[in-house]
Structures are given as structure tokens and as C-alpha cells.
Amino acid sequence: MKKINKIYIIIPIILIICIAFVVAHLSNNKFKYKIYKSDYNSKYKFKGYYYEELGGDIYHYVITSGEKTTGGYSIDIKSVTKNENNIKVVVHETIPTGVATTAFTYPYIILELYEKPTNIKIVDDYGKVYKKIN
């Protein structure tokens, strides 16, 4: 009878454990959402977020940078994570570099969720919390 090298047994076991861990982690944090890129609307003059319930299990969070005096500003969502029924949104705001158009702008981005979270926390890159406006 041939001796089986231990490495041929250990490597598949380690791979199975790693794959199981990744699948378990991804399935716990997976939920559906959609992001609509920013646009400029003078309705959103203040920095923070607006909550809009559209019905049919669709919930909008309009995240705004507030009124800016020039163009070139933008806002993006870096990550959306879910832990139980709590959602954390990390937002990144970009400031203009170089010459910018002189005009009032109101950058915002919309996060569309398909389930109502118990708690939502919207923060910037540095952990500063966005306040609910409405």
C-alpha cells in the first residue's frame, strides 16, 4: 500500500475551511441596494440626508453635500454594509482641484434600499456622521 503524503490531505481541508468562511461572511452581509449618481438640485441646500419612503418596499436615502459656491464638488458612496438590520453607509466627498465653474451647486447621491433598516448610520471617510434633515 502506498503512503499518502500529509500535504495532499491538509491543503484540501484548509481550502474547504477558507471557502466556507468566505461564503458565510458574504451571505451574512449580502442585501440588495442601488445607487443613483449625483445630480444638482437646489432642493438639497443643507448637508445631511433625507429619507423618502416610496412604497412597495422601496426606501430612498438622499445624501447631500449641501450648497457649494462652485462646480467641481461631488459625492460618492464608498461602501454599504449590513449587520443584522443595521446599515452603515460610508460616503466620500470630492472637492474641486484647479479652476471650477462659478455657480451654486448642490451635489447629492441617492441610495435605494429594498428593506427598511432598523438603524442607518451615514458617515464620511473620517467618521463624521451625516444628520437626518427631514
Query: Do the Cβ atoms of 51 and 61 come closer than 8 Å?
Result: yes
Distance CA 13, CA 108 (A): 48
Domain boundaries, the chain: 31-124
User: What is the model's pLDDT at position 125?
Assistant: 93
Classify 69 in phi/psi space as left (phi over 0), alpha (psi -120 to 50) or beta. Answer: alpha
In DSSP terms, 55 is beta-bridged to none
> pLDDT (tens digit, 9 = 90+) per residue, 119-128?
999 999 999 9
pLDDT value for 27: 46
Rounded CA separation 83/29 (Å)? 7
Could you tell me the pLDDT band of residue 26, with boundaries at 50, 70 and 90? Answer: very low
Q: What is the mean pLDDT of residues 35-55?
A: 84
The mean of the pLDDT values for the chain is 82
Q: Provide the whole-model pTM.
A: 0.73
Read off the pLDDT of residues 78-95 as tens digits, 9 standing for 90 and up.
999 988 888 999 999 999
Question: Which phi-psi region, left, alpha or beta, contains residue 85 (left: φ > 0; alpha: ψ -120 to 50)?
Answer: alpha
| Max Cα-Cα span within the chain | 83
